[in-house]
Amino acid sequence: MQLKGIFQITNWQESVTQSFDHGAKLSKALVSQSYSGEITGSSEVHYQLNYESNGDACFNGFEFISGTIGDRPCTLTLKHHGSFEKGVAKSQFVIVSSLTHAELLGVTGGFTSGEAGQANYIIGSSGLG
């Protein structure tokens, strides 16, 4: 099974947890997103980010999706590992939990950000990253 679509960031709350010389920093973010495409619904993402002085970052985190796949309710937990370079965010992820779709456990995917807080996602492949 391959699932494709778009998510839209609807809220991004980020706070710096530690600052370093020359603009490098560690931060955490709580992000809300809405999903369309083969998954419809919403998600909450908890990211930890490590920014370099040039503004590029690497991040990891967990995302909790609640919605539908087709006409079936779905809940999915994704474990992310990604980067933000030259204004583009990319992440590879794996589904680590689902109460509704056990067949998706261990399935990988990814996203690549576009403009205006949107990103294309693919689940069930090596992803877009």
The band of 115, judged by pLDDT with boundaries at 50, 70 and 90, is: confident
Q: Does residue 129 fall inside a structural domain?
A: no
Q: Structure pTM?
A: 0.92
User: Tens digit of pLDDT for each residue in 31-67?
Assistant: 999 999 999 999 999 999 999 999 999 999 999 999 9
Total of domains in the chain:
1
Better-predicted residue by pLDDT, 39 or 126: 39
Give the DSSP per-residue string, 69-115: ETTEEEEEEEEEEEEEETTEEEEEEEEEE-SS-GGGTT-EEEEEE-S
Q: What's the angle, vertex CA 88, arms to CA 86 and CA 89, rounded to 5?
A: 125
Q: Does residue 128 fall inside a structural domain?
A: no
Q: Does residue 104 fall inside a structural domain?
A: yes
Q: Does residue 115 fall inside a structural domain?
A: yes
| CA–CA gap between residue 114 and residue 129 (Å, rounded) | 12
Q: Does residue 76 fall inside a structural domain?
A: yes
Give Cβ neighbours of residue 34 (< 8 Å, ≥ 6 apart): 7, 8, 10, 41, 42
Q: Does residue 92 fall inside a structural domain?
A: yes
**Domain that residue 31 falls in:** 3-123
Q: Does residue 61 fall inside a structural domain?
A: yes
On the CB side of 56, how many CA atoms lie within 13 Å of its CA?
6
What CATH number does the domain containing 40 carry?
Answer: 2.40.350.10
Q: Does residue 79 fall inside a structural domain?
A: yes
